[in-house]
Copies of this chain bind each other. A is one copy, B any other.
Amino acid sequence: MSTSAEDLRTIALEEFATAGYAATSLHRIADLAGLSKSSVLYHYASKDALLEAAVAPAIEQISRILETLATRPVTKESRNEFIIEFVDFLLAHRLEVHLFINQGPSLVDVPVVDRANELVQRLAEFFASAAPTTEHRMRFGVALGGAAYMLVAQHAMGFESAPEDETRSALVTILSELLASVPVPAHQE
């Protein structure tokens, strides 16, 4: 098993998410990994392929979460459980989420990003399904975009990153509050 391929994925994800996909050259990724540009293209057929490999695990996980979500009925309790699950997902894949949220529209030609955008739409529908008013949809959008922004930009905002569990509980509180007033659909047992 080669560690280089995984190192490249990690490095590329970090750079793509923080500096931007278009602004990150294969040369820079190679330098950060201590390799040559040719070696990067040996492990991954193209820059697109490297991006896909870097974000694939996050896509799979959120896709899995959404599938189990579709089976269970939507109640206040199941939604609160989901928020906790979702926060853990955001914490574990903050770079990928930041990449999707901020660069999604400009990366429409990459298939895996298209799929991510589709998943975000399904998430939005899930939350606003019972009462698709402007405010309810905006609540979800602010929660998602705000969390994604915070998790990678907190150091740029002037305060050092807090311990992980503190961040987690604060995020659960804020997102729960944001989404609490969004009604759940009426359903029969």
Q: Point out residues on A near B: beta carbons under 8 Å.
A: 18-23, 101-106, 117, 120-121, 124-125, 128, 132, 134-135, 137-139, 141-150, 153-154, 156-159, 162, 166-167, 169-171, 173-174, 177-178
Among B142, B159, B167, B174, which residue has its beta carbon within 8 angstroms of that of A147?
B142
Q: Given that A20-B23, A138-B167, A171-B138 are contacting pairs, would A149 and B144 also be in contact in the complex, using a CB cutoff of 8 Å? A: yes
Q: Roughly how many angstroms separate A125 CA and B105 CA in the complex, as a whole number?
A: 31
Q: Given that A157-B124, A158-B125 are contacting pairs, would A145 and B149 also be in contact in the complex, using a CB cutoff of 8 Å? A: yes
Question: CB-nearest residue of chain B relative to A169?
Answer: B135
Q: Roughly how many angstroms separate A177 CA and B150 CA in the complex, as a whole number?
A: 18
| Interface pairs (10), CB distance under 8 Å | A18-B105, A19-B106, A20-B22, A20-B103, A22-B23, A101-B149, A102-B102, A117-B156, A135-B174, A141-B149
Question: CB-nearest residue of chain B relative to A122?
Answer: B158
B22 and A134 contacting across the interface, CB-CB below 8 Å: no
- Min CB gap A95→B, angstroms: 13
